[in-house]
């Protein structure tokens, strides 16, 4: 088998230790193999880097094991060509499972060029990923707290959610704070309604007639305090992400080789298309400009656009074309055939943060009238189901994002397709009657009789 890397090393990374195996030797000559174990403290990882350098190593490969590979990668990326490979692609030979054997197996695969590195973005993009992913966690945590708040209301037989659309809105929040303060008169609570909710004061009086005890008031107060804390945190993350986009991503990052996917919901604020911003004068697209351009896609809000920039980046040259980007994101249909039969079309496991944002944007895009993405959804949902149709719309949103970031142009919607001709619908209905065992004779009605 052809030797690709003559000076390479494989790392088996764990929480407390890293086992390194170095393979040095030209093709056709004896291979020198050295193995050593290092702790994962910073000083020990620096000693690992020095040891690899002393061996003349040029390329290093490691498995993407949880979060443990990240500090190792951060300390080695400036001195070696570091590949983070998918653990499923390099399963060891059964019956020979030790840390040393794992490191030797990774090094041997790397020596013969049988592994490919996953997509590890530049440092500025990795920092942006950390911010957007943590913000998504906070948004999900806030939704969980709202659900707990609703449970307490049900325990006290307060049916506020049956009348008010949002139990954390201005009116509902004023009512909840009054309940926590000890107010029990439904009429007084209903008078706190504002805006259109004041027209439902009679229903509010009935919904707010419950059995609230001190236990319930304590739980409501704690949940409201938790919501305030989470909302303040989310606002701080929004500000930090905006500042990071403006400062750390001023232009296009350096290109990287085509990658494999890494091992490992933010709501869209406005689902209608925006007025397209003016495209940049050059190809030097910045993070803030990229978010503004992606925001023109139907269903994509500011937060989803920020997730797209964080997960995909600004340099589309690393992916080659839109189809390869969709395959990397695991949004393209799977290809599994045998004996002329298609066995499965599952899309597989990919970048969960990116897929969640795109699926959320797809759910918003299908609600936009006279939109190409909505037409795609309705056309596919009728014969393939809603879930597959949503994935197909998410696929197309990602392709649109690729073209927008590549050409620095705002989203251009396709013209809505004309409806099917009446004659086509009539023929389809007649065929359905024939298949059901009926014979139909059609006679046109006089003009104006319909």
Question: Minimal CA–CA distance to 90: which of 74, 77, 71, 103?
Answer: 103
Residue 90 lies in a domain: yes
Residue 413 lies in a domain: no
Which residue, of 51, 77, 111, is where some domain finishes?
A: 111
Could you count the other beta carbons within 10 Å of the beta carbon of residue 230? 18
Which residue, of 111, 142, 176, is where some domain finishes?
A: 111
Question: Same structural domain for residues 189 and 136?
Answer: yes
Question: Same structural domain for residues 99 and 143?
Answer: no
Tally of domains in the chain: 3
Q: Region of 72 please: left (phi>0), alpha (psi -120 to 50) or beta.
A: alpha
Residue 191 lies in a domain: yes
Report the CATH number that the domain containing residue 66 is assigned in CATH.
3.30.420.10
* Angle formed at CA 107 by CA 43 and CA 39, multiple of 5 degrees: 20
Question: Same structural domain for residues 338 and 394?
Answer: yes
Tell me if 424 sits within 8 A of 383, measured CB to CB: no
Question: Same structural domain for residues 397 and 313?
Answer: yes
Residue 86 lies in a domain: yes
pLDDT of the residue at 94: 65
Residue 220 lies in a domain: yes
Pick out the chain residues at pLDDT < 50: 252-283
Tokens of 255: 């290109």
Q: In the 8-state DSSP scheme, what is residue 118?
A: B
Tokens of 140: 């999900």
Residue 335 lies in a domain: yes
Question: Same structural domain for residues 85 and 38?
Answer: yes
pLDDT of the residue at 294: 94
Confidence (pTM):
0.79
pLDDT of the residue at 178: 95
> Whole-angstrom Cα distance, residue 135 to residue 303?
10
> Whole-angstrom Cα distance, residue 388 to residue 348?
13
Q: What is the residue range of 360's domain?
A: 287-407
Residue 416 lies in a domain: no
Question: Would you give the distance in Å from CA 265 to the centre of its chain?
Answer: 8
Which residue, of 54, 89, 111, is where some domain finishes?
A: 111
Question: Same structural domain for residues 132 and 191?
Answer: yes
Question: Same structural domain for residues 181 and 99?
Answer: no
Question: Same structural domain for residues 242 and 151?
Answer: yes
Question: Same structural domain for residues 22 and 74?
Answer: yes
pLDDT of the residue at 268: 38
- Tell me the pLDDT tens digit for each residue of 300-325: 999 999 999 999 999 898 888 899 99
Residue 149 lies in a domain: yes
pLDDT of the residue at 9: 94
Question: Same structural domain for residues 210 and 133?
Answer: yes
Question: Same structural domain for residues 98 and 159?
Answer: no
Question: Same structural domain for residues 176 and 76?
Answer: no
142-155 residues labelled b (16+ CB within 10 A) or e (exposed): beebbeebbebbee
Per DSSP, what are the bridge partners of residue 43? none
């Amino acid at each position: 088998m052809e030797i690709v890397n003559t000076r390479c090393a494989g790392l088996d990374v764990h929480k407390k230790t890293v086992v390194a195996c170095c393979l040095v030797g030209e093709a056709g000559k004896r291979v020198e193999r050295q193995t050593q174990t290092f702790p994962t403290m910073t000083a020990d990882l620096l000693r690992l880097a020095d040891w690899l350098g002393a061996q003349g190593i040029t390329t290093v490969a490691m498995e993407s094991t949880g979060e443990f590979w990240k500090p190792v990668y951060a300390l080695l990326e400036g001195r070696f060509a570091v590949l983070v490979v998918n653990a499923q692609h390099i399963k060891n030979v059964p019956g020979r499972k030790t840390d040393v054997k794992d490191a030797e197996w990774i090094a041997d695969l790397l020596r013969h060029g049988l592994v490919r590195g996953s997509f590890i973005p530049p440092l500025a993009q990795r920092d942006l990923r950390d911010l957007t992913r943590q913000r998504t966690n906070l948004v999900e945590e806030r939704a969980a707290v709202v659900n707990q708040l609703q449970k307490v209301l049900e325990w006290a037989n307060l049916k506020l959610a049956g009348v008010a659309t949002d139990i954390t809105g201005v009116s509902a929040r004023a009512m909840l704070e009054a309940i926590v303060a000890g107010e029990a008169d439904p009429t007084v609570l209903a008078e706190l309604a504002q805006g259109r909710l004041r027209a439902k004061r009679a229903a509010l009086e009935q919904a707010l007639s419950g059995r609230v005890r001190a236990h319930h008031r304590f739980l409501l107060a704690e949940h409201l305090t938790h919501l305030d804390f989470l909302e303040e945190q989310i606002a701080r993350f929004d500000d930090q992400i905006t500042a990071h986009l403006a400062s750390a991503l001023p232009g296009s990052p350096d290109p990287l080789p085509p990658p494999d996917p890494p091992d490992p919901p933010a709501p869209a604020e406005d689902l209608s298309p925006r007025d397209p911003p003016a495209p940049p004068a050059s190809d030097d697209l910045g993070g803030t400009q990229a978010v503004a351009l992606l925001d023109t896609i139907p269903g994509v809000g500011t937060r989803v656009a920020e997730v797209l920039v964080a997960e995909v980046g600004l340099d589309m040259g690393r992916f080659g074309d839109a189809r390869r980007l969709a395959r990397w994101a695991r949004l393209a249909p799977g290809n599994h055939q045998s004996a002329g039969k298609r066995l499965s079309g599952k899309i597989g496991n990919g970048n969960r943060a990116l897929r969640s944002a795109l699926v959320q944007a797809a759910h918003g895009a299908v609600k936009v009238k006279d939109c190409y993405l909505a037409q795609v959804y309705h056309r596919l949902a009728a014969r393939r189901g809603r879930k597959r149709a949503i994935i197909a719309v998410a696929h197309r949103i990602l392709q649109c994002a690729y073209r927008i970031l590549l050409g620095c142009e705002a989203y251009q919607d396709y013209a809505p397709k004309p409806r099917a001709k009446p004659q086509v619908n009539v023929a389809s209905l007649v065929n359905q009657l024939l298949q059901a065992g009926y014979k139909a004779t059609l006679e046109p009605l006089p003009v104006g009789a319909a």
